[in-house]
Structure 1
Amino acid sequence: MRSWRDRRGLSQAELGALAFVSADLIGKVEKAQRWPAPELVTALEAALDTDGVIAAFGHALAAQRQTAKRAGGGPARSMEQAALDWLLDDDPAPRIMGDNAMGWVDDEVVDGVARRLEEFRRLDHVQGAGMVFPMVTAYASADLARLLASRPSSAEVAVRLYATAAGFWELAGYQAIDSGNDELAQGCYLQALDWATAAGDRLLGGYILAVNSAHLALHRGEVPLGLRMAKAGLRGTRDLAGPLARSAFTAVAARAHARHGDERAATQAILEAERNLDAASPEREPGWIRYFTTAYLADEVAHCFHDLGHPRLAQQQADGALAGVSPTHVRRLAIDAALMASSLARAGLIEQACAVGRQAADYTAQTSSARSRQRLADLRQDLGPFRKEPAVRDLEDYMRALLPL
C-alpha cells in the first residue's frame, strides 16, 4: 500500500478520502497494525489503480488472518517475537488448517505447486528478483493462498503443502531483499516461518531464522539481531540438524561475528562450519539445504575476511566461490566477482581489481538484482582513493555505459 501510495503522490489522508476511511486507518494498515477488510482492499485497488496487485494480496491476507486467529496472534509481530515463540513451541506436530468448503488439496496438486516453486527458483538464479518477484508474489498471494485455505486430503499432504508454502514465502523474502524492499522481506519471512511451523518442520523453521532472517538483519546493518537469529536457529534445531544444515547456520553466525569485528569468534565459527561441511552427507539431508556446497561456504567465508580487513584471504575464498558456482547462477557470480574486485582494490591491486570489476558489471547487466548493483557501488567506494588512475576511470565509464541509472 505504502509503495503504491508513494507512486501516486498521495498522502495517507488523501488516500483515506478516496477509500472512504480515515488517515489513521491507512497508517495502521501500512504498519501492519490492522487487518484491512475485504471492502477496503477493493477500495484501495480502485483508488490506487494497481492493475490487480492489491486485490491479489487479498487472498494472502485472508489466509494469514486465518492462521493468526488459530495462533492467537495478529499481524504486528517482530522477527524476535516470532523467534522466541518458535523456540518456546513445545508442540512441533503439524497443524492442519483449511476449510473443505474452499476445496480439497491432494498430492497431485502439491506436486504442481512444488514444480512451480523450483521453476521460480531457477529463474531467480538466472535473472535476479526484479523480473521474477512480481510473479512469485502474485502466485503466492492468489493461487497458493486459495490452496492454503482449502482442506488437505491427508496429514501427509498437509505437511508437504505447508512446507512448500514456506518455501514460496522464503523465496519471496529473498527476492524482496534483492529488489531493495527489506521491510517487505521481513513480512515474507514471518509468513514462511508460520507455514514451516504449521508443517511441523522444525528444521525448516530454523533455517528461516538462522539463514534468511539473520542475513536480512546483517544486510540492514542490525548485526546483534543477525547473531541472535543465527543462534536461535542453531539452538532450536540442536537435536535435528545434520552436519550440512549446521554448517550453513554456523557460517551465518561467523558472518555476524566478523561484521561485529570479533575475529576470534568468527574464526571459531568458520572452522566449525568447515568441519561440519566435511562431515556432511547431503543425500541424507533435506533437498532445500543441498545447495550449500563448498562454494557457498567459501562465499560466506570470503565476506567474513572482507569484513575483518583481510583482503588476501578474502580473495582466496572468493576465488573458490567463483570456481564452484554454476554458470546459470548469474547473480551469485555478479556478487562474488564484485567482492573479489573489492578485495583486490583493498590490497592495492588496482589493475586486477578493475579487470574483475568489469566481469562483475557484465554479470550484473544480465540480472535485475539490486544486491548486485549495491556490490558494484561498494566496489566504486573501495576504488575511490584511486579514481585518478586510468584503469579506474575506464571502469567507471564502462559501468556507466553498461548500467545506466
Structure 2
Amino acid sequence: MRLSLSSENVIQYLQNAGLYSVEDGALYEHEWLGSGRNNRNLLVKLADDHQLLVKQENHTHADSSTHEFFNEWLFHELLQKFPVLGNISAISSSLLHFDLENSLLIRNYFSEYMELEKFYENNGIFPLEIANAIGATLAGLHRSTCQKREYRDFMDTAPQGEFRYRYYNPAQGISSINQDIFGKIPTEALKFHAIYQQYESLESAIADLAYEWKPCCLTHNDLQLNNILLHSRWQQLDNCLVKFIDWEACAWGDPAFDLGTLLASYIKVWLSSLVTDPSLELEESLHLAIIPLEVIQPSILAVIRTYIHNFPMILDYHQDFILRVIQFTGLALTHHIQNAMEYHKYFDNRHLCMLEVAKSLLTMPEQAVLTIFGSSLSEILQPITGFKTTTQPTQEKQLLRIYYEKTRLRGC
C-alpha cells in the first residue's frame, strides 16, 4: 500500500531511510511548501540548520505510467556515472533518496538560494549577470551531452518491468474542444478555445514545429523561472549564482525547447503586468504594462547571446536555431494558458493578450526577433566568431504588430 506523506510520519520515514537519527538532535520545524498539481512538498528542518525537502507525487489513483520522479533519480544517476556533467555546478544534484514504490524523493534544501521568479517579482530588476549565468549553464548542459549516444542510451532507461518511448515530443498544440472539457475549465475560458481554433495558421505552425523537432541532447524540459534558484549573495559570487532544480521532466530532447520555455517565462513577467480594461485595445495594454518589455529585453538578449557564445556549434546543427527558439517561446505561452485554465481554474483578459503574442511568435518568428530581443538576427549573431548569416533581402526594421485588424480583441 502506498504511503501517504504527512507531517506526522515524515520523521519516522527519514529514520527508516537512514537520513535522520535521534542522536542528530530533535526536529524543530516542518513546513508545507507550495505544492503543484503534480506533487506535495514538505520542508523538514533538523538540527544544525540541516534542511531536507521531501517531495511526493500526487496520484489520485494508481498510475504506474508517469513516474516523473524516476526521471529526476535517473538524472541524478547520470551525473554520478558521468562526472564531467556533475562538474557543472548549477545542475549538480542534491538528491539523497528515491522511493519508486511510494513515488517519493528527498533532497537537500538550498537554504541560501531563492526562486528567481520571486527575486524578479520582489525587486523589479533584471541584472545581466544572472541572465549570463543562466545562458552559460544551459549551454554547458546542451553542449556536453550533444550527440553523445552514451548519455542518450542512459536516459532511455525505464523503471524495472516497464517500457517507455525513447522520445517525447513536447511540441503539442491544444486539443480540440469537446463536451468533456466544459466541467474542467472556467466558462470564460471557452472564448479562448473558440479563438484558438479559428487560427488555422497557428495550428499549422505548431504542427510544423512538431515535425521539425530534433532531439539531440539532454534537456530540462521545464526550465521556467521558478525552477531556477538564485544565490542570496549573488552579487558577491563569481560562480554558482544559479541552480537548476526539478528535473522531473528531463529527457533527450531539442535544445530550442529549453530556451523557448525559459524565454516564455521572461515574457510572462511582462504580459502578467498588463493593464487591462474594456476601453483599451490590445496594443494600448501592451504599452501600458507595469513592467515594460524594454526592461526585460536586455536579459532575454543576454541569455541567447551567452548561450550561443558558449555553444556556437548549435548553429551548425540548426541554421534557423534562433527562429525555432522564438517559435517554442510562443508554444510555451499557449501551454501556460492551458495550464492556468485546466489546473488553476483561472482565466482573464491577459490570457487572451498572451494568445495573440503567442500566435505572432509561432507564425511570424522572423518579424518577432526584433520585438522580443530588441535586436535583429544579424546583430544577435554578430559577436559569434566565424559565423556568417545567410544573406536576406533588405527589410525595413519595424516592431511586430501582435494583433490583426479582423481579430482585434477588446477588453485586453
TM-score norm. by structure 1 comes to 0.35
In the superposition, the TM-score normalised over structure 2's length comes to 0.34
Structure with the largest fraction of helix: 1
